[in-house]
Amino acid sequence: MVVAVRRPACRNAATEQSLGLRERGRAERPKPQSEGSLSFLSHLFSPYLPFAIPHPPFPISHFSFPDFPISHFPFFIFHFSFCLSTDSSGCADKTVCDGCAECREALRDRRSTDDLYALEELNLMPIRWLHCFWAAIVLLVAGVVAAQSESPRAVTGAVADTSDRVASLPDQSSAQFASMREGAYGATPYDPRFYVDYDGGFVIRPIDKQATPFELKVRARMQFRYVGFSRDAKTWTDNAGVTRPVETRNDFEIERGRLEFLGFFFDPSLQFYINIDADTDDNHDAKFHDFWVNYKFGDALNLYVGKAFVPGSREWLGGSTRTHLADRSMATTFFRPDRTIGIWAIGEPWEDVHYRIMLGNGFNTTDRKPRDVDSQFMISGSFWWDALGDFGKGFADIEHHETPVIRFGTSMTYAGQSPHDDGTPQAEQNFVRLSDGTRLIDVGALAPGVTVNAFDIYLWAIDGAVKYAGWSVHGEYYFRWLNRFGTSGGPIPYTELYTDGFYIDVGKMIVSERLELVGRMSTVDGLFGDSWEWAAGFNWYLNGKHSNKLTFDVAVLDGIPANNSGPNFEVGQDGILYRVQWQAAAY
């Protein structure tokens, strides 16, 4: 309840009012447990705060003065700053009178939360900047105490591992918050529901998942990259006879600046994930790259709805955090699908046997509006088997496996593409290119004056990988068929177009958990020409993980048929590509 008090018109009114506040504060104040202790002072000062400072869900420190745990120290500091920052020049009308002195005395003796609002009306609230100053002093002192303690665990009072600490929180909080639940010392009853932790990101976790079913983890990732490209030719000519420029590069970019939010709500099995991506080579826009909600029925079935990868390639599904070089291979960039909105399932029905199946809007509909997407669904699935035990994530054998681990997999994708009612191609169809880089739906791509506006696409990929003693070898072979063409402007001399290609990637840790040498080659081969990529470089794992990694690579490019800003490939590139990348990620 807020007590509205009119500002005193004179010193007598102010005096009478302050005396009333003081008397009521004395009547409501319970008798302290220890009149001669600092614990009494901490409880005495706590009501002055405009908010309740609860005890933490586990002890802040075992270090304490007699009857004065360090967890109460903020009460003392904030009270002190409050007294120093009280306006001593008089009432709001700046008239010095005995009433103001009495008001300040009443303030010091106050015990009721209602009195706080009464005094707020008297303009005797603290100056905020001074509160910030004393808060900074508190943090500094706490940091020094933590740094000087024999063990971080001794300072935090937490147990040896996180899971045990979490499990013990309800019992600890029950004892420590008992007085607050009962409203002792006039404090507002308080029962903690969450605690803060770090687990591959900043985490707010519930103490009791059943009573408070919500968890939020926030993490970030950035890839800061230098890109240089030295061209061998200034132009290239596509299959339609159009000559296009090839540009050089010498610049810095933020390739992936991502902020991720994940956790659960309503039920620990009902989970969510949001990935916001900002690239400087993508108009400096921030976009919802991935966004889904899933329900985990068990290891064999995890059901998702939202926006995510189409599972058409192993290297594509592996993500961009743990690539061997700065980015994915040329072959994967050419063949792979992209993201789409849909429904999918992920699971491990048998030990080390995995699947991912998706029904979605299209082969490549990321960031497309509904009017740019046709009415035909895409279906895709990927299956893999870790034949000798868990293969783990990523390409590099940072773990230095003492026995070999092997993975075999296959991925399949089908999508039909249809035009607008007026016969013009959908924007969704822009991604498909011939083996020389010509866009399939460009006028004249397959015949002079003819535009392809409909087709079916089939993609099949097989992959294999091994890790052993610091060595890692990965490879994937792609097969793509385009058929059932629809055209405007005339016929084309093809009923089906077949293109294939592959990549092979080899790495060796030469300094355990720190330095790795990598080599890669990839190719795309089809009716209209072939293209090659030869690349080599090194990874320096600054903390022994992909989360803090420096990568340098050099690639010789021979007629790139793909266009994608992620790996810095542009159609028609002949020359040498240089990349230096620093990746900082919390995961």
Pair 88, 94: CB distance under 8 Å: no
Give the pLDDT of residue 152.
Answer: 40
Give the pLDDT of residue 570.
Answer: 95
Give the pLDDT of residue 576.
Answer: 98
User: 228 pLDDT band (50/70/90 cuts)?
Assistant: very high
Predicted confidence (pLDDT) per residue in 428-483, tens digit = 888 999 999 999 999 999 999 999 999 999 999 999 999 999 999 999 999 999 99
- Locus of tokens 């002055």: 48
93 three-state secondary structure: coil
Give the pLDDT of residue 50.
Answer: 41
pLDDT at position 560 over 90:
yes
Give the pLDDT of residue 184.
Answer: 45
Pair 397, 328: CB distance under 8 Å: no
113-122, 338-347, 391-400: least confident range: 113-122
Predicted confidence (pLDDT) per residue in 128-154, tens digit = 444 555 555 555 555 544 444 444 443
Structural domains present in the chain: 11-158 (no CATH), 214-585 (2.40.160.10)
pLDDT at position 68 over 60:
no
User: In the predicted model, what is the mean pLDDT of residues 245-263?
Assistant: 95
User: 371 pLDDT band (50/70/90 cuts)?
Assistant: confident
Instruction: Give the predicted TM-score (pTM) of the model.
Output: 0.70
- Locus of tokens 């083996």: 435
Predicted confidence (pLDDT) per residue in 348-357, tens digit = 999 999 999 9
User: In the predicted model, what is the mean pLDDT of residues 215-230?
Assistant: 96
Whole-number Å distance between alpha carbons of 265 and 465: 37
Give the pLDDT of residue 428.
Answer: 86
Range 210-213, long-range pairs (CB < 8 A, 24+ positions): 213/264, 213/265, 213/266, 213/267, 213/268
Higher pLDDT, 483 or 107: 483
Among candidate residues 267, 253, 251, the one with its CA nearest the CA of residue 214:
267
DSSP-assigned letters across all residues of 342-362: EEEEEEEEETTEEEEEEEES-
Which helix or strand (DSSP H or E) is residue 310 part of?
Answer: none
Higher pLDDT, 366 or 92: 366
Query: What percent of the chain is predicted at pLDDT more than 90?
Result: 60
386 three-state secondary structure: strand
Whole-number Å distance between alpha carbons of 370 and 278: 22
User: 52 pLDDT band (50/70/90 cuts)?
Assistant: very low
pLDDT at position 318 over 80:
yes
User: In the predicted model, what is the mean pLDDT of residues 61-77?
Assistant: 41
Pair 355, 381: CB distance under 8 Å: yes
Give the pLDDT of residue 13.
Answer: 46
Among candidate residues 281, 335, 346, the one with its CA nearest the CA of residue 308:
346
User: In the predicted model, what is the mean pLDDT of residues 322-348?
Assistant: 96
User: In the predicted model, what is the mean pLDDT of residues 85-105?
Assistant: 45
User: 51 pLDDT band (50/70/90 cuts)?
Assistant: very low
DSSP tally for the chain: helices H, then strands E: 11, 22
Whole-number Å distance between alpha carbons of 444 and 433: 13
- Locus of tokens 């005797």: 124
Give the pLDDT of residue 181.
Answer: 47
422-426, 507-511, 561-565: least confident range: 422-426
Pair 202, 567: CB distance under 8 Å: no
Report the chain's mean pLDDT, rounded to a whole number: 78
> What's the start-to-end Cα distance of the chain, in Å?
46
Give the pLDDT of residue 587.
Answer: 77
Instruction: Estimate the crossing angle of helix 98-109 against helix 11-28, to 10 degrees.
Output: 10
